[in-house]
Amino acid sequence: MLAEPGRGSRIVARLASLLLACLSGLAGAQAAATEPKVLRFAFRSVETGFDPQRVDDVYSSAVCNEIFEPLLEFDYFARPAKLVPGVAVAVPAAEDGGRTYTFRLKPGIYFADDPAFGGKRRELTAADAAYAIKRLRDPRNRAPYAWLFLNNLTGLDELHDEALKSGKFDYDRPIAGIEVVDRYTLRLRLKDPDFTFLYRLTLPQTAPVAREVITAYGEDTMSHPVGTGPFRLAEWTRRQKIVLVRNPGYRGLVLDTTYADPNLPEHRQVIAELQGKTLPQLDRIEIYPMDTDQPRFLSFMSGAHDLIQELPVSFIGEAVPAGNLAPALAAAGVRKQQVVDTSVWYAQFNMEDPVVGGYTPERVALRRAIAFAFDRDQAIAVLEKGQGAPAYGPIPPGVVGYDPAFVTDQMDYDPARAVALLDMYGWIDADGDGWRDQPDGAPLTIDYMGTAGSATRHYAGMWERSLRRVGIRLQARAVQFSDQLRDRKAGKYMMAAGAWTADWPDGQNFLALLYGPNAPDLNDTRFRLPAYDRLYERSLQMPDSPERDLLYREMTRLMLVYAPWRLLTYRKWTHLNYPWVLGYMKHPMYQTRLLYLDVDPVARRRAQAN
Amino acid sequence: MGAYIARRLWQTIPTLGGVILLVFILFNWVGGDPALVLAGKVPDPAQIENIRRQLGLDQPWWIQLWIFVGQVFTFDFGRSWSTNQLVSEVLLTRVGPTLTVMVPMLVLETLLAVALALLVAYVRGSLTDRTVMFLTTVAMSISFLVYIIVFQWLLGFRLDWFPVQGWSNDLWTNLTVYAPLPVLLGVLVSVAPSLRLYRSFFLDEIGQDYVRTARAKGLAENRVMLRHVLRNAMIPILTYVGIGLPGLFVGSFLLEVFFSIPGLGREVIESVNRSDFPVIKAITVYLAIVTMSVNLLVDVLYRVADPRVSFK
């Protein structure tokens, strides 16, 4: 029989266990200090490569943004996004009425070590920035973002045209538009004033690259990115796994809280988690590109991934029922963010189509009636599972020029108004077949084009049902992406699903889609309204100001009156992260901002052990 | 036999010519314009024209066809239009993961289907037979996608028996950690139709006179089934397996996408989405060559399975 231990022995046992706990805690702390900080998550689509001047997809660009550094970037906190220096010393002021911008680069920034540098440290210079811009217009690179410097920098178009003829781009020939003033100074001169020009220099596609690296790797630059950014590519299995590791040569950064709002709890949390730390904190990042929603969602739910960006709409009900975190996720301390994307979704009409296009009252009435007939709220509730906000103008929230006070009834669901408009302008059922006909008696059938895919199919179905309710026949056709591009460009469509995501957070980036001279390339709606074009041209001459906002608003009104688009939604994305991911705040302009993330490996281990 | 193989190899030339022509027509006249996809978000006519010129799409069709023929015979399809990776490198790096999943799947499925089919054929009409047939009917009525969605959730996430998805650079890790769940699902889906088919092959053989004779001679049942019935049913089984063999080399798109396996099936879909014609053309031609080779191999194996078969 075992005797019950006495009080003295119990105290000794407790002291011993306390000592053990202290020792194990100390060992744990030491282990945590040396344990590499690894972050794992998934992209919701695949990447193509990491040559910044040769990529255009969101995910390749995101990785490039972690490896390379553009001249300018967006502040982590400021909303709407605000320009701050990247590798430039400051955001340059517009000179010569918005025609000239002079960048001074920070000295002492070095590229990550690479054999191409012959064992020497390679400092970033203004020539690298100039080289990157020229690379975008070198025809050999087939740069998808060549349009960034199309028809703006003095002499660059001519250089490009000569390269087309000769087959060789002359990088060494100086041009007035791109002047390397000295080792650290780059001056860009434009043909015409452009007050939104600086935004272009935030894109990873414009990030400086070292010429010797590009020369050394030739056609394999997509898999040999060498930048000055906080991370470098350590491992890459195409379309399966991307591993970034901390760039040991990176200069380090401390959190800049200039634009942080202490009244916002998410800002306070980020500051509390990152202040005093030298960034980056992450040692290794594993990114898994996944084409399908379920494995991405389950990888997060199982804890294999630390965060999930852009939670699939199909799993909203499981993870965030009725807008609140599911109990299991809440118990695990998962944090939720909902961010309205800087994009707008719409249905567009071909303004040159003989039936739905044109500017005469009956054509405008038809388009507006079609707009009134569509039940957008139902689409948001059913198809988007609440992950969208109704769009009232072409400029989405988070973009300069967005006016939260601007609300219009022109995009409401109002079938009675639709019917009244159609009746008033002669779109009636002339032959008694149950469907409305054109004013001249010809049959009316709306052709709706969308890309193949379940989301587009569901939208097409809703359009078909909505228009049937007001007596209009709609036939939807699903086409491959390349065929849709071809038909849009050729104007071979009547009505199509459309969307635009901001390249930079200024309304100009959206309003340009309806500017007449941009048709048919950028403006594939082929909307040509002189009054709109005049306003747009005036706005280009103006810096960000209340006066320019008024012009933006007036353009929005014209768009609503002539209805070349049926505005649908501003997409809302839900992002989730486990509590051991620190500093995470989804930036509307960046897919990732890994520089500002940290991981607490001890908290992760503890949570996973439980 | 040598003459037979030489004749068959000779016959592959016009077949391959037909494949080349068909692929060329499909991609050059029916497919979309890849220059529009590659031109980016804001395509301008000069950029599109430049891309078309660089890709050779502005050449007359007969020159494009000649270049394609040259690519097939030199096995040099150039570089991927979307990733700039060498197409040969794409194929070499993708075929390994595909085979890592598909070969175990085919072996397991064939062994399981043959064994079960032999068993249920032997007990034809019994409760076991009827139950197995009923289960196979149900199994065949369910979409592969449903299997993947349900079992990835159940076995991978809920029960945590397998990783939800993933792949490594190590063959052993892949075979023991990442491949088992996709293989299991593949076997679950493919075993039902094979089992039903093989059962009918066995039943055909069981009804033959030589089986009755063997039994009349007093041979043990297992000897009758394994020595005589199984052997004679091997020819149609080999044909069926042979038809499926080329599929080994393209993999299962659904499995590769859902389990993040960097195989050829996934590559095909990504390439189609991006109008990456060099990759699609290479895979199509390569698949045609594999199909012809496998067909020849199966024909040769007929003789191994049944010495009565002669080559003419």
Per-residue pLDDT for A32 more than 90?
A: no
- Chain A environment of B41 (Cβ under 8 Å): 56, 144-145, 147, 503
If pLDDT is split at 50, 70 and 90, which confidence band does A293 have?
very high
pLDDT one-digit tens code per residue, B211-224 = 999 989 988 988 89
Q: Please say whether the beta carbons of A266 and A77 come within 8 A.
A: no
Query: In whole numbers, what is the pLDDT of chain B averaged over residues?
Result: 88
**In this structure, which amino acid lies at residue B93?**
T
Dump pLDDT digits (tens) for B209-264.
Answer: 999 999 899 889 888 988 889 988 888 898 888 888 877 777 688 999 999 999 99
Cα A336 off chain centre by: 19
The beta-strand segments (E) located in A152-266 are 178-182, 185-189, 231-237, 241-246
Measured between alpha carbons, how far is A488 from A391 in angstroms, rounded to an integer?
23
* B201–chain A Cβ distance below 8 A for any pair: no
Question: What is the per-residue pLDDT for A14?
Answer: 53
The answer to whether residue A241 neighbours chain B at the CB level (below 8 Å) is yes
Q: Which of A222, A289, A483 sits opposite B84 (nearest CB)?
A: A222
pLDDT (tens digit per residue) in B125-147: 999 999 999 999 999 999 999 99
Which among A54, A219, A481 has the least Cβ separation from residue B37? Answer: A481
The whole-angstrom separation of Cα A529 and Cα A536 is 11
Q: Which residue has the tokens 């994307």?
A: A341
**Per-residue pLDDT tens for A268-288?**
999 999 999 999 999 999 999
Min CA distance, A257 vs chain B (Å)?
A: 34
Q: How many residues does chain B have?
A: 312
B40 with A522: Cβ contact below 8 A: no
> Tell me, what's the pLDDT at B312?
62
Q: What pLDDT, on a 0 to 100 scale, did the predictor assign at position A187?
A: 98
pLDDT reported for residue A30: 55
Could you report the predicted ipTM of this complex, rounded to two decimals? 0.86
Residue A314 above 60 pLDDT? yes
Average pLDDT over residues A117-139: 97
pLDDT digits (tens, 9 = 90+) for B40-92: 878 788 888 888 888 888 889 899 889 888 888 888 888 998 888 999 999 99
d(CA A580, CA A582): 6
Task: Judge whether A261 is closer than 8 Å to chain B, CB to CB.
Answer: no
pLDDT value at A361 more than 90: yes
Query: Residue B260 and residue A290: Cβ atoms within 8 Å?
Result: yes
* Separation CA B250–CA B286 (nearest Å): 10
pLDDT at res. A4: 40
Model pLDDT, residue A132: 98
At residue A100, what is the residue type?
Answer: T
Q: Is the pTM of this model over 0.80?
A: yes
Residues of A in contact with B261 (CB under 8 A): 240
Other CB atoms within a 10 A radius of the CB of residue A154 amount to 18
- Is the CB of residue A98 less than 8 Å from the CB of residue A262? no
Question: Which of B79, B83, B177, B256 to substitute to test the interface with A, most A CBs within 10 Å?
Answer: B83
Interface of A with B in 14-53 (CB under 8 A): 46, 48-49, 51
